[in-house]
Chains A and B, each alone.
Chain A
């Protein structure tokens, strides 16, 4: 197990947030999204147009293929490549929003790290916060609008405590979208009829954070 952190592109030992760690995270996220695609689509069917699961599955399997083929060597390069692939394969609103989340998180990480390639959890949390801010700016959504932001913002805050706390906060944030009325995206057209359904974007964001906590747990980070 101790060799897991020394995959290609990685430099550190167990617990290091190196390029290999970020690749494993996105691999785990792709697997989880694949498993949960039908649930995401069912959620989208209630208040959107029933394609969120299929779209996310298509995007993340493209991410997985690109990361395996190109093996980017730094965390920021992993996130940048994954973000670009999501933009160019997902479509809809999810492509630009998730693409921006990963690209801008990667960019912030790169700026904070300089030549280093091994952020700690606190540095990653700050970068994730920058990524979330960019998503907010692009989509115009704020907490309470019944979007992925409702899972991401509490997760980024809880990241100062632990990886698992962040995953839990994302799950709770997604569950908290159930009674909300949608103000953004297609669900907003339903007005009060959007109430009583979990937002599919918040649900997929919670999957991403869940995969992150699992990956960190396995790596002993």
Chain B
């Protein structure tokens, strides 16, 4: 397996050096693994901090900047960051208005952010947390760790970021973020396994003629394996899975997300099919975003995320954003 790296041990640090070189508007603390917008803390503004394992770029460091996150904490590849990173990030961005932790529902992320919240509060920083758990491929029951957090993380970060720009108070932004998550659902498929630098090859076997339905963003195997399907068939499966769970009516915000190893040509073709199925189900698409935003290293595949967005959410979605990975309106 060929990879464009030096050695596996320095993959994250090397990427952060590149991020710093390419984006002087960011402050990148490579040693402590904290990425902060250079103008932080922004006076009077609630700060947004997220983070998670590396390997999902541009999530999260690529979403640091005006209109979105104030700081991100990249962990090792597919491993959540440690509490020290989050406490450091919170201290760097808190203007006194408090900090919202945006946490994907994975056991490691939850435990580390919980510990960080306790420590940050001991330092006098007001903390609120929102848990993102949008993945309908996972049964949410007593017998699992609950639904995973995937594509909806981008919706939560963007919409809450815009609300923070309006100088709304912490509790209100946390409530809005929780509503965005509750209105969002995702479903992912993998066409190939993911290769981590540490392993130097695929972390699971996916034969050429098969695909994995309901895959997560860490290359963990999905729930079901089937013979390869067409783009249209995959769209049928994914959109029905999402809508059958979501309920409600009204327009949606749509993210057709690439996992890192699928070309945009395929992703746009898939987007056409996703729009077709949404149309067949009578769901108007208010906004579409297509691209590689919540990736899994080199995994081929895609995920579909929809958010049943109200007018306020759509307005905040349209608000200006200026980050490495998402930029419009200014």
- Chain A interfacial positions (CB closer than 8 Å to B): 41, 45, 48-51, 54-55, 58, 87-97, 138-139, 181, 183-186, 188-191, 193
Contacts and interface: CB of A to CB of B under 8 A. Distances in A.
B196 interface: yes
B220 A184 contact: no
Contacts, number: 102
Contacts of B196: 49-51
Contacts of A138: 111
B107 A185 contact: yes
Contacts of B139: 191
Contact of B203 (A50, A184, A193): A50
A209 to B, nearest CB: 22
Contacts of A96: 83, 108, 111-112, 115
Interface of B: 53, 75-84, 106-108, 111-112, 115, 137-139, 142-145, 148, 196, 198-199, 203-204, 216, 218-221, 223
A95 B149 CA distance: 20
B106 A91 contact: no
A95 B85 CA distance: 13
A183 B144 contact: yes
Mostly, the B contact residues are loop
Nearest to A89: B82
Given A97-B111, A139-B111, A186-B145, A193 B221 contact: yes
A54 to B, nearest CB: 5
Contact of B82 (A48, A95, A190): A95
Contact of A55 (B76, B83, B199, B218): B76
Contacts of A184: 107, 145
A91 B112 contact: yes
B143 A188 contact: yes
Contacts of B106: 186
A183 B107 CA distance: 12
Contact of A41 (B83, B84, B198): B198
Given A45-B204, A186-B106, A87 B115 contact: yes
A49 B218 contact: yes
A91 B83 CA distance: 8
17 contacts: A41-B198, A48-B220, A50-B196, A51-B198, A55-B76, A87-B82, A90-B82, A91-B81, A92-B75, A93-B108, A95-B112, A96-B83, A96-B115, A183-B142, A184-B145, A188-B143, A188-B145
Contacts of A190: 220-221, 223
Nearest to A44: B203
Closest 3 interchain pairs by CB? A92-B108, A96-B111, A188-B144
Contacts of B83: 87-88, 96
A193 B215 CA distance: 13
B220 A186 contact: yes
B115 A189 contact: no
Which of A45, A50, A94 is packed against the most chain B CB atoms within 10 Å?
Answer: A50
Contacts of A54: 76, 198
A94 B111 CA distance: 10
Contacts of A48: 220
Contacts of A95: 82, 108, 111-112
Nearest to B111: A96
Contacts of B115: 87, 96
Which of B108, B115, B143 is packed against the most chain A CB atoms within 10 Å?
Answer: B108
Contacts of A185: 107, 145
